[in-house]
Amino acid sequence: MPDSLADLVRDAASLHQFIGSIYKRRDEPERTHREATVTFLKYIRDLGENAQSFLQSFIEKDAESPRDPDLARFERQGLTTIRGFWASLHELVRPAEDAHTLSIPGALIDFLEKPLSAIPGLDGCRVVISHTAELNYLQYPRTDLRYHAQTYEAIVQGSPEFPKKLALIAMPYSQGSSLFLNLVICHELGHFAFEELGLEERLSRDIDGALKGTLAGYENMSEPDLSWCRERLKYWSEEIYCDRFAIGLIGPAYCFAYIELFDIVGTSDTSDVGEFNDTHPSDACRFWEHADQLRNGDWWSLLEEGVRTSYVDLVKKLAAMPESSYLYESEEKPKLAEPVLAAFLKLKPKVGALVADTFRYGPRRFRGDLDREEINLVRTYLGHGVVPSTLVQDRKERFPDPVALINGAYLFYLESLPELVRRIANQNEHQLSHRSKWTERVEMWTLKAIEDLGLLTHQ
């Protein structure tokens, strides 16, 4: 065997082994996955089997008819491309396998797929949940992944196509059984919608328009400087879009989850709340957008009339901060920081309009007395330790809307959990372990109710 062929066989065998280590499923029969995850893992398995067959065929052809040196170098580069694509898949596969049905809030994800699929352009979309070691939620952009998949497919003939309309969302592994913090997933679904609907392209003209109006000498600026400015506005706009999108899906419960996950209560009295960074707007700016989206969806009336939680006061406090308190400082391009922030403030209304256009048939709006009644009944049921799947009022059964159910449960947790703890023997509302225990129960009962409501729609 010529040395060049021997080297190629060795490299191909190494790649063959590497691919197998990623796609071959572990023997863990107790794990089951949601249908979307099954689809994704099947794609990975089919892709892996096809890749290994391709590599074997590739080596056999080379052994029968050795290539000239130039062609051999080209084919070696092909192996590098294959390895690079599988390296990018490496970070997705095992976390998706770990996110089996016992380690994710499956009922919540099943529910969220429905309003997501009702958005024009997102019909038939599905959500794949994976785990991450970060205490944060992530959406894996698919544009680059699909581009690399196409390059890969040009080399490895017969490769299955990357699944369409598949949102790849990562959640902290520690939050598998929780409901409230996992509502931040709705923000990540906003990133999916922003990408899938091509909204960056739609917003690009508005971004340039805002920059032209604030940057002195815009026409003579270098392309690297303009690209940097556009990138800031793109990042900030997308984050605002995703916050408003999340409220459009589930109402004020998203605001509460955001406050809790990022400990906004602990930072609300610091100067940081007005400070932008390179990729995210300030908390004060974001909560102005939260409050505006809540008003647009008529949720503000619920928060104004009968809600006692300090979280609402926090939303009001941050939303009331003037734009003059917003600050952005950049070490990379300090002279551009102030005009870029000014451009963003001009651009913000366009982002709100983009959200309204996404929910062409309307976001989930507050339904007045109907929602008030359901939220109050949900809170009453939870206060007595009863799963609020079916509500009885005036001797008549009714089924709560899932969004009213989620908001009612969150408000119960924020305002009324001590009432439940006091009703239970040998439990103390000031004992933190007791409160934690019954918070978990409230989340469990609410998830069970969401699951029950989901079953009703399949009858």
Q: 355, 354, 292: which is closest to 318 by C-alpha?
A: 292
- How far is the CA of 250 from the CAs of 69, 199, 405, in angstroms? 60, 21, 10
Q: Kindly tell me if the per-residue pLDDT of 64 is higher than 70.
A: no
Beta-carbon count within 10 A of 255 CB: 28
- DSSP H helices in 263-309: 264-267, 283-296, 300-306
Q: What are the boundaries of each domain within the chain?
A: 3-179, 198-358, 369-456
pLDDT band at 25 (very low <50, low <70, confident <90, very high): confident
Is the model's pLDDT at 36 over the cut of 60?
Answer: yes
Q: What's the pLDDT at 419? A: 94
Residue-wise pLDDT for 220-268, tens only, equals 999 999 999 999 999 999 999 999 999 999 999 999 999 999 999 888 8
Average pLDDT for residues 412-440, to the nearest whole number? 96
Percent of the chain with pLDDT over 70: 94
Backbone phi, psi, residue 426, to 5°: 65, 25
**pLDDT tens digits, one per residue of 344-389:** 999 999 999 999 999 988 789 999 999 999 999 999 999 999 999 9
Cα torsion through 19, 21, 26, 27, rounded to 10: 100
| pLDDT band at residue 1 under the 50/70/90 scheme | very low
User: In which residue are the tokens 């892709």 written?
Assistant: 47
Question: At residue 166, what are phi and psi to the nearest 5 degrees?
Answer: -115, 110
- How confident is the model at residue 177, as a pLDDT? 85
Tokens of 198: 């091509």
Q: Which residues of 307-326 are buried (b: 16+ CB within 10 A; e: fewer)?
A: bebebbebbeebbebeeeeb
Q: 69 pLDDT band (50/70/90 cuts)?
A: low
How large is the average pLDDT for residues 430-439? 97
What's the DSSP call for residue 308? -
- For residue range 282-315, list pLDDT tens digits in order: 999 999 999 999 999 999 999 988 788 999 999 9
Average pLDDT of span 52-57 = 92
